[in-house]
Structures are given as C-alpha cells and as structure tokens.
Amino acid sequence: MNPVPAAPTAPSTLRRPGRRAGLAALAVAATTALAAVSMTAHAAVPAPPSGWSVVWSDDFTGAAGTLPSSANWIIDTGTSYPGGPANWGTGEIQSYTASTANLAQDGGGNLRITPLKDAAGRWTSARIETVRADFKPPAGGVLAIEGRIQMPNVTGAQAAGYWPAFWSLGSPYRGNYQNWPGIGEIDVMENVNGLNQVWGTLHCGVAPGGPCNEFNGLGGTRACPASSCQSAFHTYRTEWDASVSPQQLRWYVDGQLFHTVSQSQVGEPYWTRMTGHGGYFLLLNVAIGGSFPNGVAGYTTPTASTVSGRPMLVDYVAVYARGGGGSTTPPPSGGVDAYGTVQAEAFNAQNGVQVEACAEGGQDIGWLANGDWARYDNVDFGSTPPKDFVARVASGAASGVSGLVEVRLDSPTATPIGSFAIGDTGGWQSWRSVPGNVATVTGRHSVYLTFSSGQPADFVNVNWFTFRH
C-alpha cells in the first residue's frame, strides 16, 4: 500500500501504484450486465437476468441529507486506517469525514460523495466500505460486482487531482493493513483528472513486481461509450468466473468488455492467496491528489485551478451470482455444534488471517502470528461442558519461534479458557492434532481462536478444531 510515484505516461496506459489490492478480470463472450446511460437514478436495482440472483445490493433511496445505511456500510474517516499506511497508502491529500456535506443520499435515489476545499485549502471527502466482507463466487459459479455511477462532472484543469473509485479488497486486509497486495484488490472503476476513461485493474502477489506488475497492477482502460464518464451515468461491472478453468476476471462498462485477467496469468501460489480467503468487501470513494492522478498529469495535484464540490453520484451497487447454487457462501448463521468438527476457514470474522489450500483436503487458515484471531459465531456447547478441545495444526516456524493457540469466548481480549503451545511440526502442511484443556463453558457463544507469541513471525496454521466431552 506504499505510494510509489508514477512516471508521466500516456493516460491510456498508465496505472497508478497499488492502492487497493484485488482480482483482475479476463474476458469471454458478452456479459449479461444491465446497462443504461441516463442522468437519473433507476427506480430500483435492476432485476438479474435469468440464471442470476441478487446476493446483496443498496439502491440509496434514503431521505435527502442522510448518511447511507449503517447496516450496509462502514464510513472510513481520517487519513489512514489505525496503524495502516499514511494517506491511505496512495499519497492522496484529503481527509475523509462522516459529514453529510461530503457523504449523503440526495433523496432522488443517489448517493453523493463530494470533495470539498475549505478557505485554508484543506480538502475533505468521503470513503465507505461494505459491512459484508464475504463476496466471492459460489463454488463453480460466477460473481458479478456492479455499480451505476456518474463520475464527478468536472474536466480539464478544474479536475486535476480528482480520483473517484469503485473497488474491492480481500477481507484479510481488515485489521492487518500490511498484507497488500497478496490478499487481492479488484478495481471495478477508477478515473483521474476528469479524463473520459475508466480503468479496471487487478492487484495481487507481491510488491514491487510480482505476477501483477506492482505497483501498477494488471490494468485495462477505455473511454466510456456514447456519453463521457463525467456527463452521464454508466454501469461498471467486474465478473469473477469460477465456472471455467482457469478462472477468469472480466471488466465491463455498459456491458462492453474492455479487460480480462486469467488464473494462469497470475499463477500460484498468488491466485490461491487472493481467492482462497473468506471473500471481498466493496468500497466507494473520491480521493484528491496522490500517485495515480499525479502520474497521469505529470505534475503534483490538485492545483490552484482544481475546483471544489463536484460529487460522484452512485445510483446503486449490487452483487450478483450465477451457478454453483446461485449465491455466495455466507458465514454460518445458525448454531454450530461445538462437538462437531469446525472447519477453521469457516470463520465469521478475522484479524490477520489468510486462507489457503490444505494438503489434507479443503482449506486451512494460515500465516498466523501474534495478535491474529478468527471468530466463530453461535457455537453451541449445550448444557454439559467440554473437558478439552483439539485443533489440527501445522507449523514450519523457524527454530526458537513458537506460540499459543488460545480459545476465548465473546471477545478477542477475554481471558483464555484454554490453550496449547505449538512450534515447528516439520512443515506448514505437516499436520498433527494437539489437545488443550478448557474451563467450564455451556450455552452458545462466539468462540475466538487467538494466537499469541513472543516473536512477530508466523508460527502456526489451523485446519480444524473441535471440543470433546
């Protein structure tokens, strides 16, 4: 996420340094994206074509001057995540706020994200991200992320530094903020400096360099069809197709394919690292200044000519799925039997956790180090308490590196009710079942697996765990 100055390059080819990690898309036949160009909001999120289902959506139909739904969106504020890279890792200069001057529904079915400059020359704007972070294709199916958006209606010198975006990040980024680009970033739509262009990009692997050519990413660009990106609404869409082998990522504007990336292009282990975790969360924002607009312009933005107050309008955001059962796999919402096998990758939330293919079949959680945790909701212990718990673990930690696998209830900072120590088992896929005693517990709880160590290095992977009477 560290900003790297981009060399002045023709805007049709330049990609900005990695700002949001994500998947890239590959193109096949015409998409089923529903696209229309107009200046007004749709009455509702478009119904999906035959074979598709709506996984999640927001139509922004709230009253004028209200914030978007807190059930759907988290509002980011300030100039970084806590402990994350400064200036959001991109060199952008604005501060994000939760003020309705920067972020508000307009009463006409749109969300407005409005950058503003005060009398002292300080810029504010807004950035939001979905509460849900589990968007991924159903097994053997296709996921589509779509938004109908009008970019800020400003061009030329007055647009210098404007950077609207609709994008997604791999869920393991939450709470870690140092694992980009490995966890993946899919940029559905980006634009800078009021140019009539949409960029779509995948970020992955390692930086600098790697399979996604970081910090630039694997990107494609084109002009908006019919009307300019700034003067009208257009529909931006990325499809992640897990129904084909190799898998593909595809980018569209108004149903027209303009960029593709394939699984074979990225290669292993990088594709699995960016697709094997719990899924992605979506983001909308308008930044001001930073490495991408500066690199395209060839000078530092914004300038004295940059105007304040031109909003990005978002009609709707929707996630669709096709095949493989027709929806993404949600985290378990009912009761989980504490005495059954709980697959480690079936977490409801996590901090610092990544998912990978497991040599014993399925997936495991890995790269676990001090301070990481995974949460499992509604775990039912019944009325008879367990005597111990067992976890299937593996470690390739270096000599002298070890740590504790702990069980906590209802909070990642609660006193552990059980734990065991683990060090090198002979390799990161050399599995063994290790027991640990637990204190008396009954009823339903959120169970946290937490990981603590006196060293900062990764020390364990976990395949599954269970409790025993």
pLDDT of residue 49: 85
Contact 363, 356 (CB under 8 A): yes
Tell me what percent of the residues of the chain surpass a pLDDT of 90: 75
Give the alpha-carbon dihedral of 424, 425, 426, 431, to 10 degrees. -140
Mean pLDDT of 205-225: 97
Q: Rounded CA gap, 401 and 396, in Å?
A: 9
pLDDT digits (tens, 9 = 90+) for 237-260: 999 999 999 999 999 999 999 999
pLDDT range class, residue 2, cuts 50, 70, 90: very low
Cβ neighbours of 170 (radius 10 Å): 34
Please give the pLDDT value at position 41.
63
Model pLDDT, residue 18: 36
The residue-averaged pLDDT of 57-75 equals 95
Backbone angles phi, psi at 433, to 5 degrees: -95, 120
Distances (CA, A) of 452 to 34, 404, 410: 48, 5, 17
Distance from C-alpha of 353 to C-alpha of 273, rounded to nearest angstrom: 11
pLDDT of residue 42: 59
pLDDT at site 421: 93
What is the mean predicted confidence (pLDDT) over 179-189?
97
Indicate if the pLDDT at residue 23 is higher than 90.
no
Instruction: List the single range of 50-64, 242-256, 308-322, 374-388 with lowest mean pLDDT.
Output: 374-388
pLDDT higher than threshold 70 for residue 319:
yes
- pLDDT above 60 for 26: no
Beta-carbon contacts of residue 294 (< 8 Å; ≥ 6 apart):
5, 6, 91, 300, 301
pLDDT of residue 324: 76
CATH code for the domain defined by 52-322: 2.60.120.200
Q: Do the strands 444-452 and 162-170 form a parallel or antiparallel pair, or are they unpaired?
A: unpaired
Domain with CATH 2.60.120.260 in the chain: 336-468
Beta strands in 232-328 (DSSP E): 234-241, 248-253, 256-262, 280-288, 312-322
Q: How far apart are CA 430 and CA 396, in angstroms?
A: 8
At 326-365, the pLDDT tens digits run: 344 443 345 788 998 899 998 988 999 999 888 888 889 9
27: pLDDT strictly greater than 80: no
**pLDDT band of 34, cuts 50, 70, 90:** very low
List the helix and strand counts (H, then E) for the chain: 3, 30
CA neighbor of 280 nearest in space, from 175, 144, 189, 184 = 184
Q: What is the CATH number of domain 336-468?
A: 2.60.120.260
Taking residues 26-35, report their average pLDDT.
33
pLDDT at position 33 over 90: no
Query: What pLDDT sits at residue 149?
Result: 98
Give the list of residues 6+ apart from residue 276 with CB closer than 8 angstroms, or none. Answer: 354, 355, 356, 357, 363
Distance CA 53, CA 207 (A): 36
pLDDT of residue 111: 98
The mean pLDDT of 118-136, rounded to a whole number, is 95
- Model confidence band, residue 191 (pLDDT cutoffs 50, 70, 90): very high
The confidence band for 7, taking pLDDT boundaries of 50, 70 and 90, is very low
Q: Where in the chain is the domain with CATH 2.60.120.200?
A: 52-322
Give the pLDDT of residue 40: 61
- Under 8 Å between Cβ of 170 and 22: yes
